[in-house]
Structure 1
Amino acid sequence: MTLKLRSFGMSDRGLIRSGNQDALYSGSWLVAVADGMGGMAAGDLASSMAISSIAPLDVATPEDELVAALQRAIEAGTARIRQAVREDPEREGMGTTLTALLLARSGSCLALAHVGDSRAYLFREGVLKQITRDDTFVQLLVDQGVITPDEASSHPRRAVVTQALQGEEVSPAYATMVPWAGDRWLLCSDGLSNVVRPETLTEVLAQYPDRTECAQKLIDLALHAGGPDNVTAVVADLVAE
């Protein structure tokens, strides 16, 4: 029995924004979410460049090459964004978050890459855990004990990221984990995590075994909460086959 990744993702521009700067990838080995910033055209471009740079990793990759493969893909995406800014100086400041999960061909290891404030959550045996750490100003305040996590969720500067893919040197977080059969992962943009509480995310991930229905319900909840931002959700299950 080998663990396989089965995923479904969807995105919505929300109820306020005129366009959607989020991008996603939902594959058999790889899932990823990117949330663009820096104006409509540039934000769209940055997130799509990040996803198109990492999408070729949706192949059977040896366990000992996972992190290196993610690093190379992110470097390629960074170079593409840097070149795009050189070609059009009006794109200066454009960038994107990126959160990606890659399963080894053996099914025995997962690698996670993260930069920005999109998130990866692991739902295992009924418990939801946020695996990524936000690269944001308010997270720094939480780490310093200046504010509580609850206060961070409504802080006026919660959208200020301290790190993103913007064509410059960046230090993404990388981690490897042992997957379990039955694990469910949620990768999402802050358009979901900023407006839907963790307890509600937990309920939906538990109550909707169908990945498509689960992702749709999460999007609907964000829209019902006002949909102030683009919202993207990828639901990925580890299944034994």
Structure 2
Amino acid sequence: MTLKLRSVGASDRGLIRSGNQDALHSGTWLVAVADGMGGMAAGDLASRIAIDAVGPLDLATPEDALVAALQSGIEQATARIAEAVREDPERQGMGTTLTALLFARTGSCLALAHVGDSRAYLYREGVLKQITRDDTFVQMLVDQGLITPDQAASHPRRAVVTQALQGGEVSPAYATMVPRAGDRWLLCSDGLSNVVRPDTLAEVLAGHPDRDECARRLIDLALRAGGPDNVTVVIADVVAED
């Protein structure tokens, strides 16, 4: 038996925004979510550039090359965003988050790359764990012990990111993990994580084994909570197959 990744993705512009600046990739080996910023025209361009840059990584990759592949994809995204700003100076300041998971061809390992405040959660054996750490002002305050995580959730500056892909220097976080059959990954933009509590996320991930239904339910919950932002989710299950 070999471990495989099976995924679906869904996105909604929400109830307030005039357009959708999120982008996603839901593939056989790669899943990714990007949340653009910097005005409508520039934000959706930045997120699309990021997803287009990492999309070609969706192929069978040796486990010892996973992190290098993600690093290369992010370098491509950074260079292309910088070029887009040079082409049109009005795009100055545009950028995007990126959270991407790349599964090894052997099924024995996966790598995660992250910058910004989109998130990756792992639901394993009944427990939901946030794997990524937000690159945000309020997370810095939490780390310094100045506010609690509960206070961060309602802080007026919770949307202020401390780094994103903007065409310049950036320090993404990379990690590798050993997958297990039955693992369920949730990648999402902050349009979900800012309005739906982690315990509710866990309930939905546990209660909706069908990936499409699970994704639709999560988006529905974000909309019921007011849908103040674009909301994007990718559900990726680790399954054992012959």
TM-score with structure 1 length normalisation?
Answer: 1.00
Q: Which amino acid aligns with 1:240?
A: A
Cα separation, 2, equivalents of 1:53 and 1:144: 34
Determine helix, strand or coil for the equivalent of 1:145. coil
- Residue 237, structure 1, aligned to residue 226, structure 2: no
Aligned position for 2:211: 211
Cα separation, 2, equivalents of 1:172 and 1:75: 10
Cα separation, 1, equivalents of 2:203 and 2:72: 36
Q: Tell me how far 1:14 sits from its aligned partner.
A: 0.1
Query: How do 1:65-84 residues align onto structure 2 when only pairs under 5 Å count?
Result: 65-84=65-84
Q: Tell me how far 1:40 sits from its aligned partner.
A: 0.1
Query: How do 1:2-81 residues align onto structure 2 when only pairs under 5 Å count?
Result: 2-81=2-81
Cα separation, 1, equivalents of 2:71 and 2:10: 25
Q: Tell me how far 1:186 sits from its aligned partner.
A: 0.0
Q: Tell me how far 1:208 sits from its aligned partner.
A: 0.1
Determine helix, strand or coil for the equivalent of 1:170. coil
Aligned position for 1:99: 99
Aligned position for 1:87: 87
Determine helix, strand or coil for the equivalent of 2:113. strand
Cα separation, 2, equivalents of 1:122 and 1:14: 24
Q: Tell me how far 1:116 sits from its aligned partner.
A: 0.1
Aligned position for 1:188: 188
Q: Which amino acid aligns with 2:129?
A: K
Q: Which amino acid aligns with 1:188?
A: C
Cα separation, 2, equivalents of 1:3 and 1:94: 38
Cα separation, 1, equivalents of 2:107 and 2:169: 32
Q: Tell me how far 1:78 sits from its aligned partner.
A: 0.3
Question: What is the number of residues matched between the two proteins?
Answer: 241
Q: Which amino acid aligns with 2:183?
A: D
Cα separation, 2, equivalents of 1:2 and 1:172: 30
Q: Tell me how far 1:53 sits from its aligned partner.
A: 0.2
Can you give the 5+ residue segments of structure 1 that lack an aligned partner in the other structure? none
Aligned position for 1:149: 149
Determine helix, strand or coil for the equivalent of 1:165. coil
1:157-204 deviations in Å (ceiling 9; x for gaps): 000000000000100000000000000000000000000000000000
1:208-233 deviations in Å (ceiling 9; x for gaps): 00000000000000000000000000
- Residue 108, structure 1, aligned to residue 108, structure 2: yes
Determine helix, strand or coil for the equivalent of 1:65. helix
Q: Which runs of 4+ in 1 moved over 3 A?
A: none
- Residue 138, structure 1, aligned to residue 176, structure 2: no
Determine helix, strand or coil for the equivalent of 2:43. helix
1:56-96 deviations in Å (ceiling 9; x for gaps): 00000000000000000000000000000000000000000
Cα separation, 1, equivalents of 2:67 and 2:135: 20
Q: Tell me how far 1:41 sits from its aligned partner.
A: 0.5
Determine helix, strand or coil for the equivalent of 2:7. strand
Can you give the 5+ residue segments of structure 2 that lack an aligned partner in the other structure? none
Q: Tell me how far 1:236 sits from its aligned partner.
A: 0.3
Q: Which amino acid aligns with 1:114?
A: H
Q: Tell me how far 1:112 sits from its aligned partner.
A: 0.1
Determine helix, strand or coil for the equivalent of 1:28. coil
Cα separation, 1, equivalents of 2:168 and 2:133: 20
Determine helix, strand or coil for the equivalent of 2:102. strand
Aligned position for 2:197: 197
Cα separation, 2, equivalents of 1:9 and 1:145: 35
Q: Tell me how far 1:111 sits from its aligned partner.
A: 0.1
Measured on the aligned residues, the alpha-carbon RMSD in Å equals 0.2
Q: Which amino acid aligns with 1:89?
A: P
Q: Which amino acid aligns with 1:190?
A: D
